[in-house]
Amino acid sequence: MSNPGRPEIFVAGFGTGADLVRRLAVSRDGIAGDVIYTDRRSCVISIDDGQSVDMRAPCCVKGLFELLGSAAVVFMISDCKECIRTSRLATRIAEESGVAVMVFMIEDEDGQLEMPDDLGLHNCDHEWICERSSVVVVDVPSDLDDELRLAKMIVCISKMLLEPSTINLDLADLRTVMRCGTEACIISGTGRSPELALQDALDKSLSLMAPSRVRGCLLHITGGLNLTLRDANLIAESMTGALDQHANIIWGMRVRDELDVIEITAVLTGKNIKLQSSRRSSEKRACSWRV
């Protein structure tokens, strides 16, 4: 049986996203989960972090809405052809069931999300996302290794919620940050020292998002026995120094005895935070990240 004290986390794929989720379930690329629902266009796996899962026999015949609505967090992976179905389902389970939903939209070759205008859906603003609900969109460029990157994102966020920490982050913290915007950027950094881990994270973030537009930040720092509270506090200050002064910032810290590197994971939310290629160089020059 599943642990009632742990949030239930599902990964749902639609269209080509369903094929990707099926591969994740087979490859176990950092994700400990089992397929609990599948049809021609959809696949859902449950992340249990190595614990046994309550399979609930009726799952195979349950409606997708009922199944996903029973989770605490749902990661949705969708291609452009399935974006309308995915967005409607995401908004519905967030509004009616209080589920925190992260939608990973895999862009087409031109870097666009094609959405019909008659539904009031616009490529940049994702206006189909209801701001009062815990739903954010994470764009995934098609030129990246989708499978590896998505797996890493999902695992990092899941560990934030599932593993005990020195300074804990929980589902309420995730929802708080998700309600700060409709778009999200997930970044990570690794290094053998606080400075190297921080530089790795900042180098990645400068190419993805505009820090001045971030309104929410959920930050988690993991390290070995040599990671001190002072180190973690300095990392948190450096990571958030360039964000909007009114941004809602929540951070946590975990010490793992066997770890010999420092790992940084951040979920950044806001509006229009994703950098377009034409804006990247000017935004980089305007940033004042502190290392």
Give the pLDDT score at 212: 85
On the CB side of 289, CA atoms within 13 Å amount to 21
pLDDT by residue (tens digit) across 142-183? 554 657 777 888 888 988 888 889 999 999 999 999 999 888
Q: How many Å separate Cα 136 from the centre of its chain?
A: 9
With a pLDDT cut of 90, the percent of the chain lying above it is 32
Tens of pLDDT, residue by residue over 25-52, are: 776 555 656 788 888 889 999 886 444 3
* 216-225 pLDDT tens trace: 999 999 999 9
Tell me which residue of 235, 232, 240, 221 sits closest to 165, measured CA to CA.
Answer: 221
Three-state SS letters, the chain: CCCCCCCCEEEEEECHHHHHHHHHHHHCCCCCEEEEEECCCEEEEEECCCCCCCCCHHHHHCCHHHHHCCCCEEEEEECHHHHHHHHHHHHHHHHHHCCEEEEEEECCCCCCCCCCHHHCCCCCCCCCCCCCCCEEEEEECCCCCHHHHHHHHHHHHHHHHHCCCCECCCHHHHHHHHCCCCEEEEEEEEECCHHHHHHHHHHHHHCCECHHHEEEEEEEEEECCCCCHHHHHHHHHHHHCCCCCCCEEEEEEEECCCCCCEEEEEEEEECCCECCCCCHHHHHHHCCCCC
Which residues have C-beta within 8 Å of that of residue 158, sequence separation ≥ 6? 9, 31, 47, 49, 73
Using alpha carbons, select from 185, 221, 223 the residue that is nearest to residue 204: 185
pTM for this model (two decimals): 0.80
CATH number for the segment(s) 9-160? 3.40.50
Cβ atoms of residues 190 and 156 within 8 Å: no
Percent of the chain surpassing pLDDT 70: 71
Q: 147, 18 in Cβ contact below 8 A?
A: no
> Could you read off the pLDDT of 65-87 as tens digits, one per residue?
889 999 999 999 988 888 888 88
Q: Which CATH number fits domain 171-286: 1.10.287.3510, 3.40.50.300, 3.30.1330.20, 2.60.40.1120?
A: 3.30.1330.20
- Cα of 31 vs its chain's centroid, Å: 14
Mean pLDDT of 113-125: 39
What are the extents of the domains in the chain? 9-160, 171-286
pLDDT at 282: 42
Mean pLDDT of the chain: 77
pLDDT for residue 211 is more than 60 = yes
Phi and psi of 140, rounded to 5°? -120, 105
Specify the pLDDT at position 108: 58
What pLDDT is stored for residue 284 in this prediction?
40
Amino acid identity of residue 28, one-letter, is R
The Cα–Cα gap between 132 and 195 comes to: 37
